[in-house]
């Protein structure tokens, strides 16, 4: 072949050039078939000694068998014409276990182009219906023959389908459990083999991570990019794109999220050292995907709006308004949803114990009962997962009538006492609307709460009699008796260290029944199952949680009791807190300004890190803690005693508050003397208290009607403030923890709103 470089040159010159190329690059392209075959065999045998193969076999404890060779089969051409293509797919979704075709194809191509993951493949859903039907029928035949899910390669040559290769599919632990249970139910395997498979699964994984739907975290913390999830799991770690930075991360013992355009077999050592893998090019069955499944690492492929700048060691996320991250920054890769977040995203993992599955299967006499029991275990955990990832809950308002049923109501009557008297009755009076609502709906409220920590009294050397006197709910009962009259009864000797001293027959129908301090029983804080069950048995299967302040606790009356009742409702105060959280999470009016006072800052660094990417301005007052360095344009820091610099920061914050349309304030807010439209706590007058400039700016915002949430332990008792735009959280710590983690144990335990249920 002649071109501009060879034009005018003689044949001898061209031959000389070819000789030099052959000397530098090796023999010319092979055209003789038998020579090609022998060379392929040499390459396969030679590859067994490569560093990548040795690392792979060492990591997976796999033997390199000497009989590895080359399969010789007729070649079909996926690149023959426009009616030709190549593809790879798994017979089941490797994360969810759904029985579907999971893979992709590439038109006018050979199979190697698909598995290398460096081409823009298409999902199988875009195949022509006739061809998709053929694949489905072939998949069914092969799975039933091999009795396991498969990884299949196929080619379509001029419209005709060929299956080229079948091998065991690499599924995640949860997907494998779902698959084996499906095979048992369909009769493809018997009960003894099913038990063996569960045992192998337990030895390999111990727990199966539940697949999590794309939920609130994405709206609360928009991702940098979203690809196709391949293997489940969540990793927060250092963003790495080079081997040099990977080695540095290993020395520092950092978790690593490795990002690349695509991966190849020689990258195994890098992938093995990483904790999560993200690729730009798609490929559900690419090398990156299959290797990640083998190594059980979270993997996301097909993040096609990402650009990697290897020279500048940075990654550009075009789908996130061109956000630029430098190599070494922290990111979170969510292998359940395919999302990549900046920083440490508040995402929880959920697990199903495979030991519990094995134990349950061991008690089953038949295959049908085993399949039913395991499916029930899976559905129970998925239901719990769904409850955790949604805010809206069933409430008393959703109940037409309790039909005379006893309703266990957890309230927050934990009010400070001074000489045996309540510091404030306001928190107790807030219980009345809840119990009256239940009475109006023909229910019998069985009210329970804690007051202080009697266990701490023992540590201080108090006698049992002194503890019973100092921590009794008697002062609470006196207020409720005064307000409710004959509709109230206090069960004075209902709770002791050993547990409950009464049963459901002692509950008086039609009255508000108040139990004694739950923390008199050691089983309350220990979340003892027997104590939780005994509480549940006081009801007729109804539970109402109206104590948001303790929803962050895993106590018997918060998370244990709901397991033993049929209906789990949010009380009006809990429902209000969730509604406010939803406003902040879903649609806060902008600018959104957050202020943290410097007290106890060490416990608030997590929520500060979670909030910073999502707000317009975040201020920290009076703190000497080291704060996150990201988003310096949003952060205002004013330490105590900072002189002019501190005053300037306070002035800047006051200006931000003056422009704010949503405010979240953590810490004392000067609300005791706050005057709104000439009234203080319902009385005429104005405040004479002089507040710092930023606090005055907050009060000004409240007078203008700016939606404001205050989380203040010092002021949460101020329930009678007359300010419609103010939400004073009844559980400041719980409120902030939800913003950090997007879940609370006490909320997870409640029933999601019925129109939010999964279909």
Closest CA to 197 of 361, 380, 378: 361
Backbone angles phi, psi at 710, to 5 degrees: -115, 125
Cα gap 531→175, rounded to integer Å: 36
Query: Assign residue 662 a region: left if phi > 0, alpha if psi is -120 to 50, beta otherwise?
Result: beta
Cα gap 198→370, rounded to integer Å: 11
Cα gap 326→337, rounded to integer Å: 24
Q: Are 471 and 457 in contact (CB under 8 A)?
A: yes
**Three-class DSSP category at 339:** strand
Cα gap 350→366, rounded to integer Å: 29
Tokens of 627: 């704060």
Backbone angles phi, psi at 230, to 5 degrees: -110, -45
pLDDT at 675: 47
CB atoms within 10 A of CB 472: 19
- DSSP-derived letter for residue 560 is I
Element (H, E) at 326: strand 323-326
Angle at 83 between CA 82 and CA 85, to 5 degrees: 90
Cα gap 412→746, rounded to integer Å: 13
Cα gap 622→596, rounded to integer Å: 9
pLDDT at 604: 79
Q: Is the dihedral of CA 624, 324, 314, 218 positive or negative?
A: positive
Q: Are 508 and 500 in contact (CB under 8 A)?
A: no
Residue the block writes with tokens 């038109």: 107
Cα gap 617→596, rounded to integer Å: 11
Q: How far is CA 267 from CA 17, 240, 304, in A?
A: 34, 14, 21
Tokens of 292: 């990640």
Closest CA to 326 of 338, 314, 309: 314
Strand order in the sheet with 160-168: 122-123, 102-107, 85-90, 150-157, 160-168
In sequence order, the β-bridge partners of residue 600 are none
Cα gap 541→618, rounded to integer Å: 45
- DSSP-derived letter for residue 29 is P
**Three-class DSSP category at 442:** coil
pLDDT at 758: 40
Backbone angles phi, psi at 731, to 5 degrees: -140, 75
Q: Pairing mode, if any, of strands 417-418 and 421-422? A: antiparallel
Tokens of 391: 């805010």
Q: Are 116 and 262 in contact (CB under 8 A)?
A: yes
Q: Are 326 and 240 in contact (CB under 8 A)?
A: no
* DSSP-assigned states of every residue in 703-741: HTT-EEEEE-TTTTT-TT---TTEEE-S-HHHHHHHHHH
Q: Are 277 and 288 in contact (CB under 8 A)?
A: yes
Strand order in the sheet with 444-448: 488-490, 512-514, 444-448, 406-410, 542-545, 567-570
**Three-class DSSP category at 429:** helix
Residue the block writes with tokens 């739950």: 518
Closest CA to 550 of 561, 540, 536: 561
Q: Which domains does the chain have, with CATH numbers?
A: 11-60 (no CATH), 85-170 (3.30.470.20), 188-207+352-388 (no CATH), 216-349 (3.50.30.10), 396-577 (3.40.50.1260), 589-743 (3.40.50.1260)
Tokens of 36: 């090609």
Cα gap 290→171, rounded to integer Å: 10
Q: Residue 221, class by beta-carbon neighbours within 10 Å (0-12 exposed, 13-18 middle, 19+ buried)?
A: buried
- DSSP-derived letter for residue 588 is P
Element (H, E) at 167: strand 160-168
Cα gap 497→344, rounded to integer Å: 42
Cα gap 394→730, rounded to integer Å: 20
**Three-class DSSP category at 610:** helix
Closest CA to 719 of 435, 438, 477, 423: 423
For the chain, 759 residues long, the average pLDDT of each consecutive 10-residue run is: 49 79 72 82 75 64 58 87 94 91 92 74 91 96 96 95 92 92 96 95 82 58 84 87 91 91 82 91 73 81 92 92 88 87 73 89 94 91 70 91 98 86 87 97 98 78 84 95 97 95 96 97 94 97 97 95 95 96 91 85 76 89 67 78 65 95 94 56 48 90 96 85 91 92 87 61
Strand order in the sheet with 617-621: 635-638, 617-621, 592-597, 662-666, 707-711, 726-728
Q: How far is CA 501 from CA 160, 458, 493, 516, 538, in A?
A: 77, 21, 7, 10, 11
pLDDT at 179: 96
Cα gap 406→296, rounded to integer Å: 49
pLDDT at 353: 86
**Three-class DSSP category at 350:** coil
Backbone angles phi, psi at 491, to 5 degrees: -90, 95
**Three-class DSSP category at 148:** coil
Q: How far is CA 666 from CA 601, 624, 733, 737, in A?
A: 10, 17, 9, 12
């Amino acid at each position: 072949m002649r071109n501009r470089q060879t034009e005018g040159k003689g044949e001898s010159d061209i031959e000389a050039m070819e000789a030099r190329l052959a000397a530098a690059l090796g023999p010319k392209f092979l055209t003789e078939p038998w020579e090609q075959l022998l060379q392929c065999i040499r390459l396969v045998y030679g590859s067994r000694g490569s560093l990548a193969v040795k690392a792979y076999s060492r990591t997976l404890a796999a033997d390199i068998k000497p009989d590895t060779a080359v399969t010789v089969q007729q070649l079909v051409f996926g690149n023959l014409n426009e009616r030709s293509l190549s593809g790879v797919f798994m017979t089941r979704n490797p994360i969810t276990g759904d029985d579907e075709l999971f893979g992709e194809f590439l038109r006018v191509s050979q199979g190697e182009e698909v598995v290398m993951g460096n081409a823009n493949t298409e999902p199988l859903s875009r195949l022509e219906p006739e061809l998709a039907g053929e694949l489905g029928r072939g998949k069914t035949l092969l799975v039933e023959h091999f009795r396991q899910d498969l990884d299949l390669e196929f080619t379509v040559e001029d419209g005709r389908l060929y299956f080229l290769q079948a091998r065991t599919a690499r599924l995640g632990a949860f997907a494998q459990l779902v698959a084996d249970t499906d095979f048992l139910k369909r009769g493809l395997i018997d009960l003894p083999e099913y038990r063996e498979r569960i045992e192998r699964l337990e030895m390999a994984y111990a727990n199966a991570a539940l697949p999590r739907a794309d939920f609130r975290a994405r709206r609360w913390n928009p991702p940098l990019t979203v690809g196709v999830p391949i293997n489940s799991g969540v990793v927060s770690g250092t963003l790495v794109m080079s081997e040099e930075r990977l080695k540095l991360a290993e020395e520092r013992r950092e978790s690593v999220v490795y990002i690349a355009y695509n991966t190849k077999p020689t990258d195994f050592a890098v992938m093995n050292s990483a904790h999560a893998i993200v690729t730009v090019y798609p490929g559900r069955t690419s090398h990156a995907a299959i290797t990640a499944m083998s190594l059980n690492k979270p993997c996301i492929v097909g993040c096609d709006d990402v650009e990697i700048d290897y020279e500048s060691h940075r990654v550009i996320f075009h789908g996130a308004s061109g956000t630029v991250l430098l190599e070494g920054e922290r990111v979170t890769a969510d292998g359940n949803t395919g999302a990549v977040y900046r920083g440490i995203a508040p995402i929880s993992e959920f697990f199903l114990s495979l030991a519990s599955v094995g134990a349950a299967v061991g008690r089953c006499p038949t295959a049908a009962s085993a399949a039913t029991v395991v499916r029930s275990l899976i559905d129970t955990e998925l239901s719990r997962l769904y409850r955790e990832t949604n805010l809206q809950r069933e409430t008393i308002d959703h109940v037409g009538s309790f039909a005379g049923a006893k309703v266990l109501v957890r309230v927050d009557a934990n009010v400070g006492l001074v000489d045996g008297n309540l510091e404030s009755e306001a928190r107790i009076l807030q219980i009345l609307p809840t119990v009256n609502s239940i009475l109006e709906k023909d229910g019998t409220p069985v009210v329970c709460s804690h007051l202080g920590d009697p266990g701490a009294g023992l540590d201080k050397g108090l006698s049992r009699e002194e503890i019973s006197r100092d921590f009794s709910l008697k002062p609470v009962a006196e207020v409720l008796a005064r307000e409710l009259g004959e509709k109230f009864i206090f069960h004075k000797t209902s709770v002791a260290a050993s547990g409950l001293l009464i049963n459901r027959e002692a509950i008086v129908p039609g009255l508000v029944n108040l139990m004694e301090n739950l923390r008199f029983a050691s089983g309350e804080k220990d979340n003892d199952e027997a104590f939780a069950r005994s509480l549940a048995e006081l009801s007729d299967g109804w539970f109402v949680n109206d104590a948001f302040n303790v929803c962050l606790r895993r106590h018997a009356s918060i998370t244990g009791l709901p397991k033993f009742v049929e209906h789990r409702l949010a009380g009006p105060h809990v429902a209000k807190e969730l509604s406010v959280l939803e406003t902040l999470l879903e649609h806060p009016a902008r600018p959104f300004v957050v202020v943290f006072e410097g007290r106890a800052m060490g416990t608030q660094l997590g929520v500060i890190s979670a909030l910073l990417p999502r707000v317009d301005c975040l201020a920290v007052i009076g703190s000497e803690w080291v704060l996150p360095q990201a988003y310096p344009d949003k952060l205002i820091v004013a330490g105590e005693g900072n002189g002019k610099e501190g005053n300037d920061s306070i002035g800047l914050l006051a200006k931000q508050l003056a422009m704010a349309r949503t405010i979240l304030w953590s810490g004392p807010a000067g609300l005791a003397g706050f005057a709104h439209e000439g009234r203080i706590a319902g009385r005429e007058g104005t405040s004479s208290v002089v507040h710092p400039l930023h606090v005055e700016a907050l009060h000004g915002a409240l007078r203008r009607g700016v939606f404001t949430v205050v989380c203040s332990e010092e002021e949460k008792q101020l329930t009678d403030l007359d300010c419609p735009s103010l939400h004073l959280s009844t559980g400041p710590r719980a409120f902030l923890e939800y913003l950090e983690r997007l879940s609370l144990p006490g909320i997870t335990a409640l029933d999601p709103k019925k129109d939010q249920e999964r279909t």
